[in-house]
Structures are given as structure tokens and as C-alpha cells.
Amino acid sequence: MTAILDVQNLGVRFPSGGRDILAVRDVSFTLYKGSTLGFVGESGCGKSVTAYAILKLVPQPGIIDSGRILYQGRDILRMDDDEIRKVRGKEIAMIFQEPMISLNPVFSIGYQISESIMLHLRMSKREAREYSIELLKSVGIPDPGKRYNSYPHEFSGGMRQRVMIAIALSASPSILIADEPTTALDVTIQAQILEMLLKIQEERQMSLLLITHDLGIVANIADEIAIMYAGEIAEYGRSIDIFKKPGHPYTRGLFKAIPRIGDPRSELATIPGMVPSITSPPTGCVFYPRCPIRIKKCIQAPVPLLHFANKRLVRCIRYKD
């Protein structure tokens, strides 16, 4: 397996009146060529900030204060504006939760895809139009020749998200970052879009960083999974290993929160408590206040990521292989 993106010890903080919010702390992970990494955690745990850091687009007033982000061996964090602009969209593309914000309401969707194609690829208007229609077809838009001239408001939420995916694919990126791409959509549409995304990922041998708060979504899709909690990685490893035996009590909590299809009685379990905002380096485990298996020792010293077989990492002193 060849690494295409290697994030090492990433730290991002947000200054806020003397007490910085340590939004991402010491986060490391590897995305392999042609594979899918699921990046999972509750709202506010640092998933989007990590994704933005990869494109050097951390929102104001955020500061990337440590780490390296190696894209094919080159550190993105050391690239100047020109270099990073060549990477964004063309090499690493990103799609977001709410496609309506990213689409311009005054231009037809065909125009918007063609513009993106011509920005990244050397194509004439006519070629770009043809390629746009081909892309619309590949993301599952019916009657793409006609739909080319439609406007965003004429599309449903699911169709708009397909259009956004078509735009993201227009430059044939080697990495696609999908930040909660189906969260705003209903369950049936979610499944269709994920299936389509996965098919394209395989066909193109693209690497996919799939960000979600829903562990159920990555279950059948991801090769590897990183579980984030309060700005740090709680667990990381091959998806089959994590599904067979979740190591961190937080991961187990997320599993319990997955609704079971076909079981109307299944109550959606939630993990009591909230993700804390971290403003100073924790003295012990950050999950301690919510942990069902905590012991005194857990808050006596910071908990490192512990290594197990098959490159499995678990940030819990109570986990045994």
C-alpha cells in the first residue's frame, strides 16, 4: 500500500480571549492510494478543522501550530499560495455537507461544472460541455444532456449533492475529502449517494477521506477508520478489526448509537454527556467524564495512543488485545 497523504502530529488551535481552544491535538493518520479512510466522531470533535487543515484552509482565527501534512511526500503546510492553489481542487478536492451553499444559484449547473473543468483541464468549451454531461451521468443524474441547463433550485438536495460530487471530480483529483456529504439528506438518498461515491472511488482508484458523525455509514465502506474524540484520535485501525472488537469505550458507544435497520424497537442509544472543548492540555483521559469503565488511574496521567496488532491504535489504558 502506498501512502498518498500522511498527516503527522497535526495541532490546530483557535485563540479565544486568552484561552485558546485546542481543537485538534497531535492527530496523525495515513491515507493510502485507492483506499477509503473513515473519519468518525461527534459534532465538534475536530473533523472539519482537520479536513480544512489538509487544504490549508483552516477558518479564521484558527492557527495550525504543529505537524506536517505530506501529500505525495511534499509538506502542504510549507507550500506557498501558488503551490497550494495547484493542489486544491486539482489534486485534493473536497465536498461539504450543504451543497446549496457551494453552488451558485444564478448559473446553470452545467455552466458551473464546465467552468470547473476549464479551470483545471485544458479543454475547449465544447469538450468541457461534453465532459460535464459525462460526469453528470456518472454521478447518476438522469437525462444529463437536458439537466445540463438546469439551475440549482430545480434540483433536489440529493441531486445537488451529486452535482457537487461531479464538480469535485472534474479535475480527476487523487484525493476526495467528503465532509459529511450525506448528512443533510434522507436515509434512502444517503445510501444511493454513498454507493455511487464508492463506485467512482473504485473505478478511479481515488483515495477517499470520508468524514461522518455516523459510524454506521463507514461500516461497509471504509478500509480503515479513525475515531476522533475532543480533538484527538481515540482509536485508529483497520475497519474489520474495529468492527470485530471496538477497543475504545467511545467507539463502543458510537456502535450502540447506530440504528438497526428493520428493528423498529431499537432505541437510538446515545452516549451521555457532551464533547468537551479543550483549552488546556488534559491531565488524564479526555473521555473520563463520560466513560462507563473509568478507573482512578485514567485521570492521573495523559493517555497515549497504545499500539496493538495490525497497526491498531487505542487511547485507553483499559484495552487489552
Binding residues for Mg ion (CB under 5 A): 48
Distance, in Å, from the CA atom of 170 to the CA atom of 63, rounded to the nearest integer, reads: 30
User: Contact positions toward ligand ADP, by CB under 6 A?
Assistant: 14, 21, 23, 41, 43-49, 59, 277
**With the CA atoms of 189, 192, 196 and 201 taken in that order, what torsion angle do they form, in degrees rounded to the nearest 10?**
90
* Residues 214/28, Cβ–Cβ less than 8 Å: no
Cβ proximity to ligand ADP: between 39 and 131 the closer is: 39
Cβ proximity to Mg ion: between 11 and 46 the closer is: 46
Residue 317 interface partner, choices Mg ion, ligand ADP, none, CB cut-off 5-8 Å depending on type: none
Residue 44 interface partner, choices Mg ion, ligand ADP, none, CB cut-off 5-8 Å depending on type: ligand ADP
Listed residue (127, 123, 147, 151) closest to 137, CA to CA: 147
Cβ proximity to ligand ADP: between 46 and 152 the closer is: 46
**At residue 38, what are phi and psi to the nearest 5 degrees?**
-90, 130
Residue 152 interface partner, choices ligand ADP, Mg ion, none, CB cut-off 5-8 Å depending on type: none
Which grid coordinates belong to 57? Answer: 484552509
Cβ proximity to ligand ADP: between 16 and 300 the closer is: 16
**At residue 109, what are phi and psi to the nearest 5 degrees?**
-70, -35
Residue 38 interface partner, choices Mg ion, ligand ADP, none, CB cut-off 5-8 Å depending on type: none
**What's the closest the beta carbon of residue 47 comes to Mg ion, in angstroms?**
5
**What's the closest the beta carbon of residue 46 comes to Mg ion, in angstroms?**
9
Cβ proximity to ligand ADP: between 22 and 175 the closer is: 22
Distance, in Å, from the CA atom of 122 to the CA atom of 86, rounded to the nearest integer, reads: 14
List the strands of the sheet with 74-75, edge to edge. Answer: 21-32, 3-14, 63-71, 74-75
**Taking the CB of residue 20, how many other CB atoms lie within 10 A of it?**
16
**What's the closest the beta carbon of residue 44 comes to ligand ADP, in angstroms?**
4
